[in-house]
């Protein structure tokens, strides 16, 4: 028979029954891994259960997705310190749950909790840093804060090498988290947030270490009489709908004016595509026919200078031009892969790494620029919800690499390059914030815009 005849012939034959490999007796297969090295043999995450192994990593992203918005609202509504304390408690509880649980479901819940707490801790701490440092130090200190991410990845690699058992590794990552209790004890609330909530006396005591004088108390009291307090507003909210509306007032403030709506929508898009491209360039080794170990090592090494160099770039250019330049360099590098023959693997990887360098570098600028674009009363909501959109991109990345990469190896890098260029041009529509003081209230943004016009 030729091929067509054979294909027709087998279609007429009865098909054999599909039998799951896990439905057979256990002696039909065995694990070559040592006991305790991986979660796979512990919960038999093979065959039809293979999807639950992937879900463990997705659970972390889901947690970050939920935590970014939830802790952002908590931070703007109840304070940066309370959001940080809540994130610390959730991190410790979730961490120990993943170490000692014997149930896969509880392990997955612990992973979701770890992801959620990571968002709460990172953005509450970043907002505190941004609001409590002088203008001339804001750029380099915020970028040095974000460099903790690649440093943490290097420490994780060392721990994983020294501790092959997964529970021991998880415990080694959770125990240092107990130091967060010390942080929570000594951490002060953001004075800028307190002022935005008309709590000047407490802000004064934090800044100067003593109670304010009588004149300042009188002025603060006078101001409080003119502006309704949060307690009065809550007392006026009698229905459940009114209470819910008041609880999410800070989140709604992101869309309260045309100026803020435009800013936050641009932030959502650029955060999403930047995160998507960041993760695609990290896991795209197979589509580029590169050695996995060398490729992953290169991505880690590229991230370190990528977080440091923006410190010097921001000295001479503003946030907007820095973002545009880095987006442009990254986008063109990733699109240049289309012009390189596939057999030139080293050259393709070199352009991909340069694109990743631009993406990692712009992440540091993007976080700082977003924090400066919004007033104090909604700043953490802006960072939190933008981070939520970033995790939408990170969850899409594996599907783009695995599914679209099967169709053509260059599709993932082409999607990254195109979306990154669009993000670069959209970043030019945002206002420059390099030499501008932080605003505290939404009304100040509109007043400044009217004065400029």
pLDDT of residue 106: 93
pLDDT of residue 107: 92
Across 143-147, 203-207, 252-256, 373-377, least confident range:
252-256
Q: Tens digit of pLDDT for each residue in 4-24?
A: 888 888 887 887 777 777 666
pLDDT of residue 219: 54
Q: Tens digit of pLDDT for each residue in 135-167?
A: 777 767 777 787 777 777 777 777 877 888 889
Highest mean pLDDT among 25-29, 330-334, 404-408, 428-432 belongs to 330-334
pLDDT-derived band at 96, boundaries 50, 70, 90: very high
pLDDT of residue 237: 40
Q: Tens digit of pLDDT for each residue in 363-421?
A: 878 888 888 888 777 777 777 778 778 878 877 877 787 778 878 888 888 888 899 99
SS3 letters for the chain?
CCHHHHHHHHHHCCCCCCCCHHHCCHHHCCCCCCCCCCHHHHHCCCHHHHHHHHHHHHHHHHHHHHHHHHHHHHHHHHCHHHHHHHHHHHHHHHHHHHHHCCCHHHHHHHHHHHHHHHHHHHHHHHHHHHHCCCHHHHHHHHHHHHCHHHHHHHHHHHHHHHCCCHHHHHHHHHHHHHHHHHHHHHCCCCHHHHHHCCCHHHHHHHHHCCCCCHHHHHHHHHHHHHCCCHHHHHHHCCCHHHHHHHHCHHHHHHHCCHHHHHHHHHHHHHHHHHHHHHHHHHHCCCCCCCCHHHHHHHHHHHHHHHHHHHHHHHHHCCHHHHHHHHHHHHHHHHHHHHHCCCCCHHHHHHHHHHHHHHHHHHHHHHHHHHHHHCCHHHHHHHHHHHHHHHHHHHHHHHHHHHHHHHHCCCHHHHHHHHHHHHHHHHHCCCCCCCCCCCCCCHHHHHHHHHHHC
Mean pLDDT of the chain: 77
Across the range 181-200, mean pLDDT stands at: 79
pLDDT of residue 421: 92
* Better-predicted residue by pLDDT, 67 or 269: 269
Across 210-219, 310-319, 349-358, least confident range:
210-219
Q: In percent, how much of the chain has pLDDT > 70?
A: 83
pLDDT-derived band at 246, boundaries 50, 70, 90: low
pLDDT-derived band at 433, boundaries 50, 70, 90: confident
pLDDT-derived band at 203, boundaries 50, 70, 90: confident
pLDDT of residue 150: 75
| Residue 227: pLDDT over 60 | no
């Amino acid at each position: 028979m030729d091929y067509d005849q054979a294909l027709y012939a087998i279609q007429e034959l009865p098909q054999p029954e599909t039998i799951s490999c896990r439905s057979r007796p256990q002696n039909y297969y065995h694990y070559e891994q040592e006991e305790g090295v991986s979660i796979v043999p512990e919960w038999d995450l093979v065959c039809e259960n293979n999807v639950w192994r992937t879900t463990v990593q997705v659970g972390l992203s889901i947690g970050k997705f939920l935590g970014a918005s939830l802790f952002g609202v908590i931070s703007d509504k109840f304070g940066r310190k309370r959001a940080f304390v809540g994130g610390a408690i959730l991190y410790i509880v979730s961490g120990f749950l993943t170490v000692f649980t014997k149930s896969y479901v509880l392990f997955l819940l612990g992973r979701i909790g770890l992801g959620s707490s990571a968002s709460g801790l990172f953005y509450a701490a970043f907002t505190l840093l941004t609001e409590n440092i002088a203008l001339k130090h804001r750029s380099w200190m915020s970028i040095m804060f974000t460099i903790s991410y690649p440093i943490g990845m290097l420490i994780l690699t060392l721990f994983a090498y020294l501790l092959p058992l997964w529970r021991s590794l998880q415990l080694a990552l959770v125990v240092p988290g107990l130091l967060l209790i010390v942080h929570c004890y000594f951490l002060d609330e953001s004075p800028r947030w307190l002022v935005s909530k008309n709590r000047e006396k407490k802000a004064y005591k934090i800044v100067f270490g003593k109670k304010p004088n009588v004149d300042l108390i009188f002025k603060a009291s006078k101001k409080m009489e003119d502006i309704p307090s949060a307690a009065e507003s809550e007392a006026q909210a009698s229905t459940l709908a009114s209470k819910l509306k008041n609880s999410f007032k800070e989140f709604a403030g992101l869309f309260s004016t045309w100026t803020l709506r435009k800013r936050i929508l641009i932030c959502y898009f650029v955060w999403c595509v930047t995160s998507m491209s960041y993760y695609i360039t990290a896991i795209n080794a197979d589509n580029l026919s590169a050695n996995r170990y060398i490729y992953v090592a290169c991505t880690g090494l590229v991230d370190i200078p990528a977080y440091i160099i923006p410190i010097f770039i921001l000295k001479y250019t503003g946030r907007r031009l820095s973002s545009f330049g880095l987006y442009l360099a990254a986008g063109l590098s990733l699109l240049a892969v289309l012009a390189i023959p596939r057999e030139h693997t080293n050259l393709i990887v070199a352009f991909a790494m340069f694109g990743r360098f631009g993406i990692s570098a712009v992440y540091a600028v993007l976080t700082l620029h977003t924090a400066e674009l919004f007033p104090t009363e909604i700043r953490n909501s802006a960072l939190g919800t933008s981070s939520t959109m970033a995790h939408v991109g990170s969850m899409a990345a594996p599907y783009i690499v695995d599914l679209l990469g099967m169709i053509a190896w260059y599709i993932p890098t082409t999607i990254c390059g195109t979306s990154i260029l669009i993000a670069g041009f959209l970043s030019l529509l945002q206002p420059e914030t390099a030499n501008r003081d932080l605003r505290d209230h939404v009304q100040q943004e509109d007043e400044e815009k009217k004065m400029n016009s």
